[in-house]
Structure 1
Amino acid sequence: MTDQETRHRQRRARFESLAHVVTESLHRYLVRRTSPDMVEDVLSETMLVLWRRMDEVPGLGTGSGPGRGPGTLPDRDAVLPWCYGVARHCLANARRADGRRLRLVERLIGARQESPAVAADHSDLHAALGTLSELDREVVRLWAWEGLAPRQIAEATGMTPNAVSMRLHRAKKKLAEKLRPVRKNAELPGHEMSEGRSSQ
């Protein structure tokens, strides 16, 4: 086997170990943010970007150091926040492309249509989330739904941990005010479930 073949095999093994750790969480991340017909396409694009930029994934390593032999899985907490950031950008790109296609269809048929990416959920929580800015919504969802700590949210969004903490504090206060009349003493759903991780 040539050196090039060996390097390719090692790279593929590293990617497979990364995919094993993050794919399910990335799928869940996308399901919560877009329509079912977009999830698989965006997930595929996300994994393609991860393959191309695998050497940039924090915590993945090169596969040649101690404890990085074949079959060794990366630390989920180390790699997932960065991968969420990739998924977030891929989803934004897909939404822009989908929006352009939708506008073209609307012009062709001469009738407005609602984007499939717009959720039909009019629950109190989604209404309250809708009062936040897009970035604040994402910070809250990463905290409440994905169970990320502020330092991990910072890695996923490109902000500083301090900026994340401030946004999260203000957003939670605003949500509490909106939800108090109809949902006294309730917390954000999903945050205290076992799928979440530490919020500290």
Structure 2
Amino acid sequence: MDEAGRRRRFEQAVPPMIDPLRRFLARRTDPATADDVLADTLLVCWRRLEQLPEDPLPWAYGVARHCLANAERTSRRQRRVAAKVAVLDPPASSSPGPGDTDDDPVGRALAALRTDDAELLRLWAWEQLGASEIAQVLGISTNAASIRLHRARQRLREELEELEEAGKTDGRAGHEESREGRKR
């Protein structure tokens, strides 16, 4: 089925289902969750349009039930995490991390980098994670993490050199030869 045909079929099948689905969900959850689940349900209907039967409402109710169950599981997980965080004591004292002061050239250089590069460098330097651990955090391969880390360190080095040339650093900003966070 071409894109125009898919769209026509969706526009014919879905509008009559919206109000019944909304009522179905409203009887089972709060209004905000019902709206979110309705949107998820309609998305599934669009993605699985070829599976939509001639009488799609009962099928859509089943999809809505599954989407609602997913939303409820997510909500329970979020509440459990919030409860755990609420009972944790804040650290006794905290010291500013790199980049927390205006006169920090490393912070300025990190701010000039792409967000992904800066996060990679923070994981490496601040959290002292190795490439395999960074890969796990970011959901990428260890090889990709190593390559990205190498490139990000090079970009940071270049940013620090530019800041130094512009007279915005005293030359002591970088730790280019540091092995901090790296495992041998």
TM-score normalised by L of structure 2: 0.46
Q: Which has the higher contact order (CA 8 A, sep 6+)?
A: 1
| Higher fraction of helix | 2
**Higher Rg:** 2
TM-score normalised by L of structure 1: 0.42
